[in-house]
Amino acid sequence: MAALRYFFSLLMVPISLIAAGFSLIAYMAGQTNPNESIFITFIGLAMPVILTINLLILIYWIIKKKWWIIIPIAAILLNSGYLASIFQVTISSSKLPDGKIPIRIASYNAGKFKSWEHFETQYYISEFLKNDKANIICFQEYRENTKINADTLSRLLNCPHHAIAYLPGSTTLGTGIFSKYPILQFGKIPLASQTNDAMWVDIQTGETRIRIISCHLQTTNFSKKRRLLDDPVLQNADIQQVEDVVTDISQELAQNFKIRATQAQIVRQVIDTTRIPTIVCGDFNDTPSSYTYQYIKGDLKDSFKTRGNGYAYTFRGIHHLLRIDFILYSKEFKCIDYYSPEKEWSDHNPIISEFYLK
């Protein structure tokens, strides 16, 4: 038994080094374009698993009181930025100073205003956002119907100004931004997609003009693909059939990573050429460890990291593991609030932040 324990202790050294190596690769995912290395991108997607393994290794070396403890500590500290992007503790409170204009923005992938239970959600969502006093609302997967068009939704939200960017070939689907403040100008950000889009609006808040950019980047469809693996027919299939399905899923994920990377570069070009205070929000369909998030974020701040509390997720599927919706902002703003309540109206949670101009 003593020999077995000694062998296991020796084995833990290379395991620690390998786990730390994967932690380094995962860290590199945020700086590596998927078009250059899809392997690094996939390792970045596994960041939660990799950090969990390093944490277990850390606990092991703590118990053993060995200096090898520095390896998992270094691996975890290297990705402290990622940890801060999914878990925060904000102790101090922040309030809107007297004389400042509140900019309370909600970003919501509304799932075409159809819940998982297939009931229409426009009335529920508009009542919630109106009571929350959101004065700028960005919808991704926006949809109109014969009963509720943009003008009707404006009245329900108590936001008299709106701009809609419809998907190519559609007069009902796209991205919508609604505002209590005047919209001066708006434009589409072409993503060369039939199903995903982005837009910007310039809004007058007091004496200052600000820009809001709303994005819905390339959809992963991971939940739909994962259901293929749960298909009872596949459970009884031979190994080759299972491998074919896994290969198909991997290839589609890889392709979507690459598409989002290109879309992130397009959005970033708009950010870089904007000379007024800017807020970027939306469904990026990628996590904080991704190239997509890091590239769009650049020198912007993440409102969750500034004012969030607790563990953060915005996608309600996949066991609440993913934060893929974001509100980012430029240095001219001060963020005083962030929260993302669990709501049944979509497969995403709304995210809400409040700001004022410094």
pLDDT at residue number 223: 56
- H or E element, residue 334: strand 333-339
Model pLDDT, residue 148: 92
Q: At what angle do helices 47-64 and 70-78 cross, to 10 degrees?
A: 150
Torsion of CA 305, 306, 309, 313, to 10 degrees: -40
Question: In this predicted structure, what is the pLDDT of residue 229?
Answer: 54
> Two tokens at 3?
């020999």
Give me the pLDDT at residue 256, please: 93
DSSP β-bridge partners for residue 338? 353
DSSP 290: S
- Which pLDDT value is given to residue 248? 78
Exposure of 73 by Cβ count < 10 A (0-12 exposed, 13-18 middle, 19+ buried)?
middle
To which residue do tokens 């309370």 refer? Answer: 104
How many CB atoms within 10 Å of residue 121?
19
pLDDT at 136: 98
Alpha carbon distances (Å) from 29 to 16, 181, 246, 291, 292: 20, 39, 22, 6, 10
Q: Looking at residue 252, what is its pLDDT?
A: 86
CA nearest neighbour of 183 among 156, 214, 152: 214
DSSP state of 319: G
Residue-level pLDDT at 90: 87
pLDDT digit string (tens) for the chain, length 358 residues? 666 776 677 899 999 999 999 999 999 999 999 999 999 999 999 999 999 999 999 999 999 888 999 999 999 999 999 999 999 998 877 889 999 999 999 999 999 999 887 889 999 999 999 999 999 999 999 999 888 999 999 999 999 999 999 999 999 999 999 999 999 999 999 998 889 999 999 999 999 999 999 999 998 765 555 555 555 555 555 566 667 667 777 888 899 999 999 999 999 999 999 999 999 999 999 999 999 999 999 999 999 999 999 999 999 988 898 999 999 999 999 999 999 999 999 999 999 999 999 9
Residue 250: predicted pLDDT: 83
Which residues have CB under 8 Å from 193's CB, separation 6+?
Answer: 218, 259, 263
How far apart are the C-alpha atoms of 280 and 300, rounded to whole Å? 9
User: What are the residues facing 139 on neighbouring strands?
Assistant: 108, 176
